[in-house]
Structure 1
Amino acid sequence: MILLVFLAAYLVRRRLDSHDRLNPETLWRWLFHQGRRVRAGHEAGVAVGLTLVFLPALVAALVVHLFDLSGLSVMAYPLEFVLLVFLMGIPGWGATLRAYREAWQRGDMQAAWHHIKDRLPAEHRSTAIAPEAMHLSLSRALMVAVFQRFFLIAFWYVVGGIGLAILARGLVALTEHWPQSSARPRFARLLSWVEWLPSRLLSLTFGIAGDLAGWLRVAGQALSRLGSGAGEVLMLSANGALTGYALDPARFSRIHPEEWTAFGGRSLSAIRGLLNRSMLVWVCALALLVIAGMV
């Protein structure tokens, strides 16, 4: 049933994202509103934030466990389905990428930047950023967002159940929404440990779902960087797995200058296609594990 629950939640979440419905970030921000006030000198503390994430994860895990003990494990599946739908999702990204692609097609890089600036890291929100750097920053942000809100949750749900899935997603939310910004780097360090294995697994999946020969040329470099974050590993692996210089705008502009205005949309389509095929690989792998009785 774990396969059916996840697959149903994934399909529903994708449908909700396409209509920009049920944004889970609102719920996380409401939950973390409890941490808006701290004593002076304790702004970098993480105990309150971790507690706000750990308690719902623990409660969900205990409820599922009690259902199992009582022989009513089937009753836990609707609960897990609803929780997965809330945990996953990137609502709003679709409209952002459409506007960005249209602006790039027109050659209006200022408008393209305006549409995506809130999605970029703080250091890349300058209006003076080059189009190539802007696009690479957006591509990285998109890959990390999809990884953290789909693949990361899927991995920990399969490995440890709904409790670990909530805990992993909660750490992502803490790094983005915790009211005390001085504590966010500490949450990010904890998140890097949670992301380490699933990000490397997704990197391997890129080789299966994309250009294997191209991926093999960068695989050693990507997987050997033990201290690298998920964004760096995924960008390096995706660059090898994608063809047509989809993540090399500078080289694309030199080789195909006449098609430069089409690059933005073409590159984003290639990235989204790679991520979709990678999720299909994960679902197929989960099905094999279920058939083998391992999950």
Structure 2
Amino acid sequence: MSFLVLLLAVWIEKFSALRQRVQHDEPWLRQLFRQESSPRLAKRPWWVLALLVLLPAVLLGLLLLVLEPLAYGLLALPVHLLVVIYSLGRGDLLGGLGPFRDAWRREDLQAAAHVAKRDLDICADSGEQLLGQVQGHLLWQAYQSFFAVIFWYFLLGPVAALSYRLLALAAEHSKNLAVAERAGQLRHAFDWLPVRLLAASFALVGNFVAVSRVMLHELLNWNISAAQLVEKVGLVAAEIPAPITGPDGILSLDRIWELLLRAAVLWYAGFALWTVLP
């Protein structure tokens, strides 16, 4: 059923607006702000995460235990699908890059810097640095929005996928530094394996030798963040040159996107083989 859910999730992502209707974080975020500002829990970040991440995961697991034996698991299928769709990243990654791409193609660095700050929350001191940060943003967002979610869903099911997204929301939106730090630590642990699997995928669908040189030093490095690793590996795998203004700079974003698409196809092929093998 996992592979079917992943196929349906991609189809829904491309051809329907269900994702926008499902991904409503406001109720959960209100509870996060309420709990972390509570006098009883303000200095107990682990309790906040237990209430807002562990408890929903446990409730989801209990619901699936009830539903999966019924009707050959068909009643659990919609729950799996809704959880995966909710756990995917927020926003339209390619659509969000559109205004930046237009400004960069016109070589209007001031407009590019403005839309990068407005749409991507990226600031830079120079045009070349700005494009480099946007390239890293594309790689990181694609990883955390899609690859990490489908990895944990396929490996451990919807409970793991939901836990990953709730930890990401807590790390990104928490106003309590202790809660954000603990959520970031747990998310770092969640990211360790899938980001390295994605790096290996980049080696297979991109520049194998260049990726191997990077991974030789970073494979077991616990301290490097997932964002840093996926950026370093992605740029060398896609053979991205030094950032330049104009249309040639935009081509680097297209090459990164093509690399990501090839990696996604490889993952789905691997999932399919794993599903059909006895």
TM-score under structure 1 normalisation? 0.84
Partner of 1:256: none
Q: 2:193 aligns with which of 191, 197, 220?
A: 197
Q: Which runs of structure 2 are paired with 1:260-275 in the superposition (5 Å)?
A: 260-275=245-260
The answer to whether the aligner puts 1:169 opposite 2:165 as a matched pair is yes
**Separation in 2, partners of 1:40, 1:112:** 45
Matches within 5 A, 1:152-167: 152-167=148-163
- Output the aligned Cα RMSD: 2.6
Between 1:54-63 and 1:34-43, the stretch displaced more is: 34-43
Is 1:227–2:212 an aligned residue pair?
no
- Say whether residues 1:52 and 2:73 are aligned partners: no
- % identical equivalent positions: 25
Does structure 2 retain, via aligned residues, the 8 Å contact 1:104–1:112? yes
Which residue number corresponds to residue 106 of structure 2?
106
- Determine the structure 2 residue equivalent to 1:38: 38
Counterpart amino acid of residue 26 in structure 1? D
Q: Give the alignment of 1:123-134 within 5 angstroms.
A: 125=123, 129-134=125-130
Paired position in structure 1 for 2:272: 287
Q: Out of 131, 136, 159, which is 2:132 matched to?
A: 136
Q: How does 1:196-215 map to 2 (within 5 A)?
A: 196-215=192-211
How far did residue 52 of structure 1 move?
A: 1.1
Amino acid at match of 1:286: F
Determine the C-alpha separation between the residues in 1 that align with 2:221 and 2:120: 24
- Aligned residues of 2:35 and 2:41 also touching (Cα < 8 A): no
Specify whether residues 13 and 55 from structure 1 end up closer, same or farther in structure 2 by C-alpha distance, changes over 3 A only: farther
Please give the alpha-carbon distance, in whole angstroms, between the structure 1 residues aligned to 2:24 and 2:117: 18
C-alpha distance in 1 between matches for 2:253 and 2:145: 18
Residue 3 of structure 1 corresponds to which residue in structure 2? 3
> What is the aligned length?
277
**Which amino acid is the alignment partner of residue 123 of structure 2?**
R
**Distance change >3 Å, CA 276–CA 64, structure 1 → 2:** same
Structure-2 separation of matches of 1:278 and 1:37: 42
Partner of 2:62: 62
1:276 deviates by 1.5
Give unpaired runs (5+ residues) of structure 2: none
Q: Kindly tell me: are residues 47 and 65 of structure 1, through their superposed partners in 2, closer, same or farther at Cα, counting changes over 3 Å?
A: same
- Residues 88 and 149, structure 2, Cα contact 8 Å, conserved in 1: yes
**Deviation of the 1:208 alpha carbon:** 1.4
Structure 1 residues 25 and 82, CA gap change in structure 2 (3 angstroms): closer
1:272, distance to aligned residue in structure 2 (A): 1.4
Kindly provide the amino acid, as one letter, of the partner of residue 242 in structure 1: A
Mapped pair 1:179 → 2:175: yes
- In the other structure, the counterpart of 2:23 is 24
Which residue in the other structure is 2:237 paired with?
A: 241
